[in-house]
């Protein structure tokens, strides 16, 4: 095995065989069609049993232990950490530690320095001693990789809150940033919405530079305890990195001369910005990290813990906690009920559930009630566009997203609702909003339009994950598919989206997946969209995609792709242990491409049928969702249920979708 640049080996990570995998050795005695139909029935029953009484579905959203560690650090900072919560979090964090003492950011992945540091500190808070074997192994690994000094900026901010790192050795982020006009580079609306929601409160933290008494030293995480903060060399001035490093030095100098009245006004502006964007349930954007930093920022600005804004914010953080049967407590980075519900609705409808089935109608009712009908941050770029999108989470009216809106419309079209006029009006608003959010290049991003400036990624502060929201193939494909089903295949805006997708195809025939892992997800999204929009299955782009999918099919008949494809595309593109969700994505593309009777489809269907559990579910420890490519990965626990059911249902019913596209006349 050869080592890759991320410190992992070039081979697939080892894993223990699950109960579902052992079934692969059992031959499928019935025909493929019969096996698929049986799997559809069991999967349908399982998914129906998981619907909430209000009509929604929601699977656990698993990320990594940084969420749990930062939750404990927040509670320590605010003075509200309790022993029961601490020990429950520690139980989960210990259970995620790898044999080499590290913590990874996805199942089977390599140890990650910042996640390991944060997990280690959390366990110190829980009382684990530095010389405990599991702790000593972790700290030794951290020192070998450069110690705290080599960690990402966000990790060092958390440590600076307790004096374990110097604020002076962190990039400066002045609150006056909020005064940059919208046309100015690096204004806050040049950042993606998730970064914007985090950066604004962090400008307050950066200005205040608070330090709480450290409950213990962390010398064991420095390469040299006598010199914990070694100076970092500057990149050449002729490079972008060098330019922005020197810009940071200028901003640091500004701190010393900042006009007090201007600084105070900027902090007040930041406070208003944060409070105005708090959702009705107390969260911020339905995402845990912005909520954490917003609570800290407001606390530093004088909001006490009993203030209604703070009380609601802290209560919202508790709702991100998943308590497991063993007493462990896992923190979700966010929650995905709208996304899960529309995907479940599509899966059940495409599996043959009657369009007027009571549970589908109940799901439609719930989705209709979740439509966002007021302006949000997206209005900055589209001030005249009426609202009408859907968000990802329970409460997130400020940031509806284009992807959810497209899939909700596709889901609603599959339901025969008792109030069709209400459905038509909601769909009309959603379609109009999505069309209005098209970027200049003809494609669609997730939350904003034309959010393509590369300057934010260059900031020394932004060393973790994607901080902008450019158009992506998967989101664009979902919008194009939705527009096709609305009878708008020949609309000039749809055609521009199609042309963009065709131009984005990789030389090997695949498409990059921004919000799912990775080329299998991108290809599984684009091919059904292109054929729904009228491209013949004989089109060269479709044939190249089919060839690529056939080439990367695993020997067991399934498909899989490891997250390392984001860093090593040539080596890992379309390569990885077979998973239920990724196999389904490949099958959805092949079925849309007219390959229902192909050997590749037959083998894929057999794999899904053979690996299904007795209760109708599938096992999937691997992470197939993407927050930030490579840097932040997601295991959507419902993906392993909804996508296999969708693929199997489409196979059984010999269709590429469960609803018929509307005609141009119907689409208006």
Residue 415 dihedral angles phi and psi, to the nearest 5° = -110, 135
Separation between Cα atoms, residue 668 and residue 664, nearest integer Å: 6
Q: By C-alpha distance, which of 265, 202, 96 is closest to 462? A: 202
Q: Please say whether the beta carbons of 40 and 651 come within 8 A.
A: no
> Token pair of 414, please?
């599959």
Concatenate the DSSP letters of all residues of 555-571 into one string.
Answer: TTS-----GGGGT-HHH
Tell me, yes or no, if 365 is annotated catalytic.
Answer: no
Decide: helix, strand or coil at residue 488.
coil
* H, E, C per residue of 59-121: CCEECCCHHHHHHHHHHHHHCCCCHHHHHHHHHHHHHCCCCCCCCECCCCCCECHHHHHHHHH
One of 403, 404, 448, 474 is an active-site residue; which one? Answer: 403
Q: Please say whether the beta carbons of 94 and 88 come within 8 A.
A: no
Q: Please say whether the beta carbons of 245 and 460 come within 8 A.
A: yes
Separation between Cα atoms, residue 432 and residue 308, nearest integer Å: 36
Beta-carbon contacts of residue 121 (< 8 Å; ≥ 6 apart) = 69, 73, 158, 159, 164, 218
DSSP tag of 464: S
Q: Which residues pair with residue 321 across a beta bridge?
A: 331
Q: Please say whether the beta carbons of 360 and 52 come within 8 A.
A: no
DSSP tag of 635: E
- How far, in Å, are 233, 261, 666 from residue 266 at the CA level? 32, 9, 51
Decide: helix, strand or coil at residue 55.
coil
Separation between Cα atoms, residue 488 and residue 339, nearest integer Å: 23
> Token pair of 451, please?
């959010």
Q: Which helix (H) or strand (E) holds 39?
A: helix 32-49
Q: Please say whether the beta carbons of 153 and 171 come within 8 A.
A: yes
Structure-token match 């099958």, residue found: 587
> How many other β-carbons are positioned within 10 Å of the β-carbon of residue 1?
7
Separation between Cα atoms, residue 111 and residue 129, nearest integer Å: 21
| Active site positions, annotated | 403
């Amino acid at each position: 095995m050869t080592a890759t640049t991320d410190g992992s080996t070039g081979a697939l990570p080892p894993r223990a065989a699950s109960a579902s995998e052992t079934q692969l050795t059992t031959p499928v005695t019935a025909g493929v069609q019969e096996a698929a139909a049986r799997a559809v029935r069991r999967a349908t029953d399982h998914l129906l049993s998981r619907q909430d009484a209000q009509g929604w579905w929601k699977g656990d959203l698993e990320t990594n232990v940084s969420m749990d560690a930062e939750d404990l650090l927040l509670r320590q900072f605010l003075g509200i950490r309790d022993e029961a919560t601490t020990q429950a979090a520690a139980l989960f964090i210990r259970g995620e530690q790898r044999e080499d003492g590290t913590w990874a950011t996805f199942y089977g992945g390599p140890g990650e320095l910042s996640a390991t540091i944060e997990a280690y500190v959390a366990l110190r808070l829980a009382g684990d001693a530095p010389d405990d074997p599991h702790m000593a192994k972790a700290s030794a690994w951290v020192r070998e990789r450069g110690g705290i000094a080599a960690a990402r900026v966000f990790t060092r901010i958390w440590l600076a809150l307790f004096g374990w790192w110097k604020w002076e050795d962190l990039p400066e982020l002045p609150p006056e940033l909020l005064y940059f006009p919208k046309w100015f580079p690096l204004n806050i609306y040049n950042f993606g919405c998730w970064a914007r929601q985090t950066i604004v409160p962090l400008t307050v933290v950066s200005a205040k530079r608070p330090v709480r008494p450290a409950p213990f030293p962390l010398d064991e995480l420095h390469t040299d305890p006598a010199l914990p903060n070694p100076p970092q060399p500057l990149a050449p001035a002729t490079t972008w990195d060098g330019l922005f490093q020197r810009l940071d030095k200028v901003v640091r100098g500004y701190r010393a001369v900042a006009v007090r009245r201007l600084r105070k006004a900027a902090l007040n502006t930041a406070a208003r910005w944060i409070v105005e964007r708090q959702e009705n349930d107390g969260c911020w954007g339905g995402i845990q990290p912005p909520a954490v930093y917003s609570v800290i920022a407001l606390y530093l600005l004088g909001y006490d813990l009993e203030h209604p804004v703070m009380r609601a914010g802290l209560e919202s953080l508790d709702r991100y906690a998943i308590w497991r049967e063993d007493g462990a407590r896992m923190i979700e980075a966010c929650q995905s009920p709208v996304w899960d519900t529309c995907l479940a609705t599509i899966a059940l409808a495409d599996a043959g559930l009657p369009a007027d089935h009571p549970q589908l109608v109940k799901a439609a009712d719930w989705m209709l009630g979740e439509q966002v009908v007021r302006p949000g941050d997206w209005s900055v770029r589209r001030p005249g566009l009426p609202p009408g999108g859907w968000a990802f989470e329970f409460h997130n009216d400020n940031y509806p997203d284009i992807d959810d809106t497209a899939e909700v419309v596709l889901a609603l079209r599959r339901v025969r609702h008792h109030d069709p006029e209400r459905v038509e009006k909601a769909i009309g608003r959603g379609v109009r909003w999505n069309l209005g959010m098209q970027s200049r290049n003809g494609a669609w991003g997730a939350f904003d339009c034309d959010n393509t400036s590369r300057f934010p990624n260059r900031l020394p502060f932004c060393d973790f994950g994607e901080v902008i929201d450019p158009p992506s193939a998967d989101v664009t494909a979902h919008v194009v598919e939705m527009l096709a089903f609305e009878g708008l295949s020949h609309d000039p805006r749809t055609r521009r989206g199609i042309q963009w997708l065709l131009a984005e195809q990789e030389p090997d025939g695949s498409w990059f997946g921004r919000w799912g892992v990775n080329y299998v997800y991108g290809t599984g999204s684009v091919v059904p969209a292109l054929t729904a929009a009228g491209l013949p299955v004989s089109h060269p782009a479709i044939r190249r995609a089919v060839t690529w999918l056939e080439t990367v099919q695993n020997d067991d008949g399934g498909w899989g792709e490891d997250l390392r494809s984001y860093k090593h595309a040539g080596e890992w593109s379309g390569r990885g242990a077979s998973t239920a969700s990724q196999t389904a994505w490949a099958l959805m593309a092949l079925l849309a491409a007219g390959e229902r009777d192909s050997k590749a489809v037959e083998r894929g269907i057999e794999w899904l049928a053979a690996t299904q559990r007795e209760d109708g579910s599938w096992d999937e420890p691997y992470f197939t969702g993407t927050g930030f490519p490579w840097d932040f990965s997601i295991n959507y626990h419902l993906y392993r249920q909804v996508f296999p059911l969708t693929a199997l249902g489409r196979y059984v019913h010999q269709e590429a979708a469960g609803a018929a596209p509307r005609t141009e006349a119907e689409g208006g």
